[in-house]
Structure 1
Amino acid sequence: MSFDRTKPIVFSNHAYDKMIDRGASQHEVIDAILKGSVEPARKGRWLCRKNFPFNSYWRGKFYSVKQVSPLIAEESDRLVVVTVFVFYF
């Protein structure tokens, strides 16, 4: 069971703030929602995950992979990105 990936995707202000703080682009978040793995999260929400090649520096350290993990809430007519987690490996 999962959410309807054909619904429009909207971003909360909090999600935009966290994307900037954590280094994720809007394109990466949308790609993670549409093509990434999905698992159920608390409060009926969904956590998506997708790894992207990075091969660059983030905050002074070199990483080869960036994992973008948006947390979404499915509403009747849209998907709302609540927050975005980013992990570097």
Structure 2
Amino acid sequence: MKIKLVNNFSKKIIFTNHALERAEERGATIEEIWEVLNTAESSLAKKGKYQKEKIFKFGKEWMGKIYEEKKIRVIYTEEEDNIVVITVYVFYGEWKMEVKK
């Protein structure tokens, strides 16, 4: 595990090497992952892990095609003093944002 950041909940964010590698190859930055962890709602993922995701404006080329948005999903576990990022998924496309009333 390499990077430690502090989030809004006073827990350190620890990235596994796997998470850092996947983030880089899939096109997510550390800053975007930090934003997902600090602003998105949490839900249960597989095998007792948690996930958060957020849609970002993109408007750039990725692998030869221009995409308006990208959705970053972070899979993580929580420890007493740490959030451990296990992996990061990135999806490119366009999503309709739900408006909460």
Fold shared by both chains (TM-score > 0.5):
yes
- The answer to whether the Cα contact below 8 Å between 1:70 and 1:85 also exists between their aligned partners in 2 is yes
SS in 1 for 2:10: coil
How many percent of aligned residue pairs carry the same amino acid?
Answer: 36
Deviations 1:34-64 (A, max 9, x none): 1013210122211100111000110001100
Alignment CA distance shift 1:66-1:30 (3 Å): same
Give 5+ residue unaligned stretches, structure 1: none
2:82 to 56, 78, 83: 78
Structure 2 residue 13 is matched with structure 1 residue 14: no
Q: Which residue of 2 aligns with 1:32?
A: 36
Which has the bigger relative contact order, CA under 8 A and spacing at least 6? Answer: 1
Give 5+ residue unaligned stretches, structure 2: 1-7, 94-101
Q: Which residue of 2 aligns with 1:48?
A: 52
SS in 2 for 1:62: strand
Kindly tell me the number of residue pairs found equivalent between the two proteins.
86
TM-score, normalised with respect to structure 1: 0.91
Q: Distance in 2 between matches of 1:76 and 1:50?
A: 25
2:70 alignment partner AA: K
- Larger Cα Rg: Structure 1 or Structure 2? 2
Structure 2 residue 65 is matched with structure 1 residue 61: yes
Q: Distance in 1 between matches of 2:91 and 2:69?
A: 8
Shift of 1:66: 0.7
